């Protein structure tokens, strides 16, 4: 009797149907499946953050509708954290908005600035929400392939003039999911000047800036001169503080861009539960040694996987940030065939690269979201396979 809207019908097909079926089948056979597919940290939220939430839940003043832009105290904590981390001062009243997880903001943002027929420049392979938000706003996605020969950065020069003249937003995501690539401040500066020349909004998804390794520190695009005129940046507490289930993040940047997003939020949701925002304040303003500890854990896991895969002859660049390893499948395999083989013959789930977009074909993604010993077990199982 009812049929889905055209926008739902246009959603990209779910590419992991077959993999999910194989996973369920393996589990039903009693296989001890090692799931390296999900981008959700296995570690619990630090105790001091949970405690702040427990106390905040009990306060009657938190039991009412919050402000849709977020508590000023949360936005101040975010601005303070941002200045300490990136050296950029923000006005918490006009340049910060609280989000119900950064995905919420990323999905809603195009509704504020994209008209039907406008083009949005979206990297591929990528997190699917940039395209889906565009689709929901009635925009057209023009894909910018991220290729290894360009260090997984988009080639701005390759965008046709007629596309560029209709383009409203360019999406970026560094440190990158799924490729684990990073971008320099120089690259961000090039994008900012390109955006200013072409009257484009730069929307940067910065979900992984705190999951860095060794002496590398991912920059914010707002560190670049002139970025405040064209850029909005999406931050998340999900990966940094192992808080994926809490749904808390924030966007920072250009006042008009923040105001547009706030206007959408004001008319769609009524903001994040204040107790969750109080937990967020505890996370952003509290002792950061928990983040240091998470980085240490992910670095050890990265080393196990990078060294293990390399010793088995896999081709990959060791990631400098994120909790993913992006590696080439062995010769003679497609991403799908390789992922199916790992699952059927070794009980290991990895994400086939083409699932994030066609240029991801030939790669697979390993999420470092199980402990070191399970990763070692996974590598031992892979070592026993023949390719
Ligand atoms: C995990 C992730 C997010 C969003 O996380 P939230 O939990 O919604 O804050 C955004 N972008 C990328 C690339 C991610 O991997």
Condensed to tens digits (0 to 9), the pLDDT of residues 227-238 reads 999 999 999 999
Taking the CB of residue 137, how many other CB atoms lie within 10 A of it?
23
Q: CB of 39 closer than 6 A to ligand 1?
A: yes
pLDDT averaged over the chain?
A: 96
Q: What pLDDT shows up at residue 385?
A: 95
What is the band of 207 on the pLDDT scale with cuts at 50, 70, 90?
very high
**Predicted confidence (pLDDT) per residue in 293-307, tens digit:** 999 999 999 999 999
Same domain membership, residue 152 and residue 261: yes
- Which phi and psi angles does 204 have, rounded to 5°? -110, 120
Residues 84, 11 share a domain: no
The model's confidence at residue 155, banded by pLDDT at 50, 70 and 90, is: very high
- What confidence tier does 94 reach under pLDDT thresholds 50, 70, 90? very high
What is the pTM assigned to this prediction?
0.97
Domain-located, residue 204: yes
Shared-domain flag, residues 269 and 320? no
The residue whose CB lies within 8 Å of the most ligand 1 atoms, and thus the one to mutate among 172, 177, 279, is 177
Q: How far is the CA of 8 from the centre of ligand 1 (A)?
A: 21
Are both 97 and 16 inside the same structural domain? no
Give me the mean pLDDT over the 53-76 stretch: 97
Residue of 147, 156, 199 lying closest to 176 (CA atoms): 147
Burial environment of residue 221 by CB neighbours within 10 A (0 to 12, 13 to 18, 19 or more):
buried
The two structure tokens encoding residue 144: 């910018």
Nearest alpha-carbon partner for 39 in 138, 165, 179: 179
Any atom of ligand 1 within 6 Å of the Cβ of 101: yes
Same domain, 129 and 175: yes
User: Which is nearest to 207 in space by CA: 172, 240, 185, 241?
Assistant: 240
Indicate if the pLDDT at residue 189 is higher than 90: yes
Report the pLDDT value the prediction gives residue 17, as an integer from 0 to 100. Answer: 82
User: Quick check: CB of 249 below 6 Å from ligand 1?
Assistant: yes
Read off the pLDDT band of 70 (50, 70, 90): very high
Q: Single out the residue in 285, 313, 339 at which a domain terminates.
A: 285
Same domain, 39 and 173: no
* Per-residue pLDDT band at 387 (split at 50, 70, 90): confident
Residue 36 belongs to some domain of the structure: yes
Does 1 fall in a domain? no
Q: What pLDDT does residue 193 have?
A: 98
Same domain, 187 and 64: yes
Residues 193, 308, single domain; the answer is: no
Asked if pLDDT for residue 18 goes beyond 90, the answer is no
Continuous segment of H or E residues that includes residue 349:
strand 348-349
Which among 217, 251, 285 is the end of a domain? 285
Q: In the prediction, which pLDDT does 93 show?
A: 98
* Enclosing domain of residue 20: 6-44+289-383
CATH number, domain of 228, equals 3.40.640.10
Instruction: State in Å: Cα 227 to ligand 1 middle.
Output: 22
Say what the pLDDT of residue 20 is.
Answer: 86
- Signed CA dihedral, 275, 280, 281, 286: sign only: positive
Q: Between helices 335-346 and 372-383, what is the axis angle to 10°?
A: 100
How do 231-236 and 201-205 pair as beta strands? Answer: parallel
Q: Say if residue 192 is in the same domain as residue 325.
A: no
Q: Is the CB of 176 under 6 A from ligand 1?
A: no
Does a structural domain hold residue 276? yes
Domain limit, last residue, from 257, 285, 313: 285
Alpha carbon of 244 to ligand 1 centroid (Å)? 8
The CA 34 to ligand 1 mean position distance, Å, reads 22
Mark whether 24 and 163 lie in a shared domain: no
| Residue 16: pLDDT band with limits 50, 70, 90 | confident
pLDDT score of 15 more than 80: no
Q: Which residues of 345-356 are buried (b: 16+ CB within 10 A; e: fewer)?
A: ebbbbbbbbbbb
SS3 4: coil
Numbers of helices and strands, H then E, in the chain: 15, 12
């Amino acid at each position: 009797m009812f049929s889905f809207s055209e926008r739902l019908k246009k959603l990209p097909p779910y590419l992991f149907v077959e993999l999910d079926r194989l996973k369920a089948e393996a589990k039903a056979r009693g296989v001890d499946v090692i799931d390296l597919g999900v981008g959700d940290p296995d570690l619990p939220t630090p105790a001091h953050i949970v405690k702040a939430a427990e106390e905040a839940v009990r306060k009657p003043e938190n039991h009412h509708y919050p402000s849709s832009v977020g508590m000023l105290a949360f936005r101040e904590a975010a601005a303070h954290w941002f200045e300490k981390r990136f050296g950029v001062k923000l006005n918490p009243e006009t340049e910060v908005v609280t989000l119900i997880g950064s995905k919420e903001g990323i999905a809603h943002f195009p509704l504020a600035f994209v008209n039907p027929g406008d083009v949005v420049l979206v990297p591929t392979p990528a997190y699917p929400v940039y395209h889906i938000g565009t689709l929901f706003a009635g925009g057209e996605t023009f894909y910018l392939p991220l290729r290894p020969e360009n260090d997984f950065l988009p080639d701005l020069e390759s965008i046709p003039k007629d596309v560029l003249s209709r383009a409203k937003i360019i999406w970026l995501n560094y440190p990158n999911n799924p490729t684990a690539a990073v971008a320099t401040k120089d690259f961000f500066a090039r994008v900012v000047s390109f955006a200013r020349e072409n009257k484009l909004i730069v929307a940067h998804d910065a979900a992984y800036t705190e999951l860095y390794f060794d002496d590398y520190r991912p920059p914010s695009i707002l560190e670049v001169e002139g970025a405040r005129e064209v850029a909005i940046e999406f931050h998340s507490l999900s990966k940094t503080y192992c808080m994926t289930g809490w749904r808390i993040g924030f966007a920072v940047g250009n006042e008009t861009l923040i105001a547009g997003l706030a206007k959408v939020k004001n008319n769609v949701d009524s903001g994040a539960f204040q107790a969750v925002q109080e937990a967020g304040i505890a996370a952003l303003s509290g002792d950061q040694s928990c983040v240091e500890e998470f980085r240490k854990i992910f670095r050890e896991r990265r080393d196990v996987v990078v060294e293990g895969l390399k010793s088995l002859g896999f081709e990959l660049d060791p990631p400098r940030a994120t909790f993913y390893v992006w590696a080439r499948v062995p010769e003679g395999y497609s991403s799908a065939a390789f992922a199916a083989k790992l699952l059927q013959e070794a009980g290991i789930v990895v994400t086939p690269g083409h699932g994030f977009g066609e240029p991801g074909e030939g790669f697979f993604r390993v999420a470092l979201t199980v402990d070191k010993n399970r990763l070692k077990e996974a590598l031992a199982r892979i070592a026993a396979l023949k390719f």
